[in-house]
A and B are shown apart, each in its own frame.
Chain A
């Protein structure tokens, strides 16, 4: 009896000890939080090298884009310890910095000799700095992204279509360089029969729930002359947000939606756009650059059938594009900040960044994107470079969420539901944004 008891005790102790040992072995595993999308899979692959080098295991928490902001902002606001590292959206930087969610990285960068001059300037301003244009860094630029366009090169090169297009519009059917040209092409393809199938002009962002229609409309508005505020007087928006040029830009976006999108495309964002292009529904497709590697590999529409072009110019020749992408930050509530910083140091390495690009991530390191071989490294590499040179971003203020919700509502009400005029929508937007900044005590 006594010996049985001893045996039982011995077994229980062994089990406890083995559990404890396995816990110790995983105690330093880092959890990285990001959106569930193709680049995240590339990062999982890339991070295996980090584990090999340091012995630190990597766990990943990926959430679909539709819940990405809700899920991770809740996590940060509740001071949760789930994420040691987070690749947060560019617009979160102001709130995350001011609310103490991210670790400030200046001292670490100085110590490890990581210079922000080594990264594409737009990505440093967009993903790392708060306040903007000040040397206060809260993230390392991780995933460069920008809104651009893909088109069906195989359709554009059909001789009968080229002939018909030239007769109708007087110029050769090719990737557009102005928004007027883009609309003409979209009109030309709308409801056209190609290979026995009805196709449509373009897929653009119209999504209401998160940020879709704002990203799409802004992508056009910038090149028409839209400005967020008076450059000389911050937060003065009247006459800038709702300027005549902005009104023209928003009217153009609605006209493009009305004339040239597939039926029922009233709530389209990244996923729906990819589906429309992949299924051969549309001639042109507005989307973030991260979708391009996947489309390039697609059997039906990729390879020689796909072409890429940067956002076209507006009526006055101005050319801008909506910035996407994110920086990687260390969460201030993490107990493993030291290991998390090791990951950042490793990720900033040139070889790692080169591999990141080769796996399908979009590196922001100058040494990678300014390499003479870079433009030819992928069919979309040059368009990515051209687009990153003309980026602008949405507000990155701590109050970006209500600012975004206001523009989502105003744009969707006008563009998709056809309520009121473009001027009404933009006047309303000035009113909403003014209220947000007044609530914040900034006006």
Chain B
């Protein structure tokens, strides 16, 4: 049947075209098929990257199309690395990445471990837990902004109910000490299910017979957890940390929607600084250099981490 179809297609192919196709090797044909994708990647990924690298050495500003573009050498990079505000933004980012990952891993793994018990209705609860992750960050950011509202927000009323502090004094987004935590809470709420899902995959991949052998050896539940569950799920936990780490390093939407980097510069993470430099101050060359520095930092850290992950997997 297949041969008949192929034959009929071959017969239907015009002779000049058939002659051309016959001349192409298998490798050539493979290149022919993947070339559109490669061209697309080059156009929308690789070219902009090299263009940004070029711009990072210039004083180019996108809002001054008629101005002469000067080569500045490494001046943009020197200025960024010596800029106090950039270092503060990097510290804010590090603080944000550390706490979100810590909380998401702890809560996500705990939830995965509980769901893995396969209690009655566990499928229903898994679905419920996954809901925040399925929402759009724009929606999440906006409704949490209302929840945090000190005069009408449910969050302020809930805290007030528990603590007795008047709700109007609970200014999550305006208070310098609380604003970073308001973002950490929302990010944790939204992305813990993602970590849970990866951890759950890890827990479900542990063969049952290992636990049965441990039972035979009369290992306690605690011992089973430390000696079997955690080490065998560790590569999955590390993978979740890697994904969330990369994502949160470049976090923009949630911060922009909730605080816009404020109050003051309290929650101004690196991506917000980058956006301000690139699209509000229009310092295109300078912001390109900053983007390259961020890219190298994430790429370098991710590489070190992947090596550590491979070591854990090989144990």
Binding site for B on A (CB under 8 A): 70, 73, 77, 79, 95, 98-100, 198, 208-209, 262-267, 281, 398, 401-402, 404-405, 409, 412-414, 416-419, 439
Whether A264 and B281, one on each chain, are in contact in the complex, defined by CB atoms closer than 8 angstroms, is no
Q: Does B264 contact A (CB under 8 A)?
A: yes
Q: A73-B63, A77-B63, A77-B65 are in contact. Are A412 and B265 (CB under 8 A)?
A: yes
Q: Does B171 contact A (CB under 8 A)?
A: yes
Contacting residue for B276 out of A262, A264, A405, CB 8 A? A405
Q: Does B279 contact A (CB under 8 A)?
A: yes
Residues from chain A with a CB closer than 8 A to the CB of B65 are 77, 79, 99
Q: A73-B63, A99-B66, A418-B176 are in contact. Are A409 and B265 (CB under 8 A)?
A: yes
Residues from chain A with a CB closer than 8 A to the CB of B150 are 263-264
Whether B151 and A263, one on each chain, are in contact in the complex, defined by CB atoms closer than 8 angstroms, is yes
Whether A267 and B262, one on each chain, are in contact in the complex, defined by CB atoms closer than 8 angstroms, is yes
Whether A416 and B264, one on each chain, are in contact in the complex, defined by CB atoms closer than 8 angstroms, is yes
When chains A and B are docked, how far (Å) is the Cα of A360 from the Cα of B62? Answer: 36
Whether A266 and B171, one on each chain, are in contact in the complex, defined by CB atoms closer than 8 angstroms, is yes
Residues from chain A with a CB closer than 8 A to the CB of B260 are 208-209, 267
A-B residue pairs, 10 tightest by C-beta: A417-B264, A266-B174, A413-B264, A402-B281, A263-B168, A264-B150, A263-B150, A208-B262, A416-B263, A417-B263
Q: Which B2-39 residues sit within 8 Å CB-CB of chain A?
A: none
Whether B279 and A70, one on each chain, are in contact in the complex, defined by CB atoms closer than 8 angstroms, is yes
Residues from chain A with a CB closer than 8 A to the CB of B59 are 439
Q: A264-B150, A264-B174, A405-B276 are in contact. Are A208 and B282 (CB under 8 A)?
A: no
Q: A263-B151, A401-B281, A417-B176 are in contact. Are A99 and B262 (CB under 8 A)?
A: no
Distance in Å: Cβ of B151 to nearest Cβ of chain A: 6
Q: Which B262-280 residues sit within 8 Å CB-CB of chain A?
A: 262-266, 276, 279-280
When chains A and B are docked, how far (Å) is the Cα of A281 from the Cα of B62? Answer: 42
6 A–B contacts from the bound complex (CB under 8 Å): A79-B65, A95-B63, A198-B168, A402-B281, A416-B174, A419-B176
When chains A and B are docked, how far (Å) is the Cα of A412 from the Cα of B176? Answer: 12
When chains A and B are docked, how far (Å) is the Cα of A265 from the Cα of B175? Answer: 11
When chains A and B are docked, how far (Å) is the Cα of A98 from the Cα of B67? Answer: 10
Whether A266 and B66, one on each chain, are in contact in the complex, defined by CB atoms closer than 8 angstroms, is no
Chain A residue nearest to B171 in the complex (CB): A264
Distance in Å: Cβ of A277 to nearest Cβ of chain B: 15
Whether B168 and A401, one on each chain, are in contact in the complex, defined by CB atoms closer than 8 angstroms, is no
Q: Does B250 contact A (CB under 8 A)?
A: no
Residues from chain A with a CB closer than 8 A to the CB of B276 are 405
Residues from chain A with a CB closer than 8 A to the CB of B281 are 401-402, 405
The listed residue with most B CB atoms (<10 A of its CB), out of A266, A405, A414, is A266
Residues from chain B with a CB closer than 8 A to the CB of A412 are 262-265
Residues from chain B with a CB closer than 8 A to the CB of A70 are 279-280
The digit string for B289-308, where 1 denotes a CB below 8 A from any CB of A, is: 00000000000000000000
When chains A and B are docked, how far (Å) is the Cα of A358 from the Cα of B63? Answer: 37
Whether B62 and A413, one on each chain, are in contact in the complex, defined by CB atoms closer than 8 angstroms, is no
Residues from chain B with a CB closer than 8 A to the CB of A414 are 264
